Amino acid sequence: MSKPGSKMLKSRWFSPLALLLVWELGSLVGWIPRGTLAAPHEVLRTFGAMLASGELPSNLLVSFGRVAAGLAIGISFGVALALISALSHQGEVAVDSPVQMLRTLPTLALSPLFIVWFGIGEAPKIALIAFGTVFPVYLNLYGGIRSVDVRLVEAARSFGLSRSELVRHVILPGALPSFLVGLRYALSVSVLILVVAEQINAARGLGYLISEARDFMRTDVIVVCLLVYAGLGLGADSIVRWLERRALAWRPQLVEG
């Protein structure tokens, strides 16, 4: 007897597979012109060719390096600013208002200014990703620290914990779930910004492949790169989910089932 969960999992695959079949049939009978959108079998063939030639892995590695560098900077700044702002009133006065103003700026609209500041090399691409990922980390970690149960803090103080011990053993563990939520948002944002940032005079990377494919009307290459972008986002989310299961194993709702 099959489990309800397995039936639900199978049913979730029905719509994507049906859509893929309609796409393939529409391409074969000419409803979807090849110049508008390549057929799935062409996308699959192109993916295999790009993989075999090494073109896709080498450019993917470049894009991954940009995301990793931008995330490292953005997460570091987000954590530092959240700690300063959430752990002291003076820090909140100094940090929170400027951060709240900056986060309302559309990140992608800053690309011309970043090009003026950093040139047209790798720096503006990494800076855009870093800027966009600071705020999800800051907002969620700040909120997590401020929402730690006051009773836990008072109990820790009654046991004689110093301020640094209180932060390390009570406040930060209590804010960890919120930080991981912010990290998931930051990872998603980093991939979204990467798509646009790599259009800025890129000589390598997935964005470069898309720009080159656009000039030659290679919709199959464009779809391959878009699928790889989607895979990057899904992989990043899976990593954070794995971290949640490991770091928050004490939470029953994360270990049931």
152 within domain boundaries: yes
Q: Which residues contact 220 (CB under 8 A, 6 or more apart)?
A: 38, 42, 43, 45, 46, 213
pLDDT digits (tens, 9 = 90+) for 43-102: 899 999 999 998 999 999 999 999 999 999 999 999 999 999 988 889 888 999 999 999
Using CA atoms, how far apart are residues 215 and 12, in angstroms rounded to an integer?
36
Furthest C-alpha separation in the chain: 76
Confirm whether 31 is domain-assigned.
Answer: no
Instruction: For residue 44, give the CATH number of its domain.
Output: 1.10.3720.10
Residues 159/172/87/154 CA torsion (nearest 10 deg): -30
Please indicate, yes or no, if residue 228 is contained in any of the structural domains. yes
In 3D, which of 229, 201, 188 has the Cα closest to residue 74?
188
Q: Are 86 and 141 in contact (CB under 8 A)?
A: yes
Length of the chain: 257
Print the domain residue range for 117: 40-246
Please report which confidence band the pLDDT of residue 10 belongs to, taking 50, 70 and 90 as the band edges.
low
Say if 64 falls within a structural domain: yes
Lowest-confidence pick of 23-32, 61-70, 194-203, 242-251 = 242-251
- pLDDT score of 249: 66
* pLDDT for position 127: 92
- The larger pLDDT score, comparing residue 33 to residue 115, is at 115
In a domain, 254, yes or no: no
25 located within any domain: no
Structural domain includes residue 257: no
Q: What is the DSSP letter of 149?
A: -
5-34 CB burial, b ≥16 within 10 A, e <16:
eeeeeeeeeeeeeeeeeebeeebeeeebee
Share of the chain above pLDDT 70, in %: 91
Q: Is the pTM of this model over 0.95?
A: no
- What total number of domains does the chain contain? 1
7 in a domain, yes or no? Answer: no
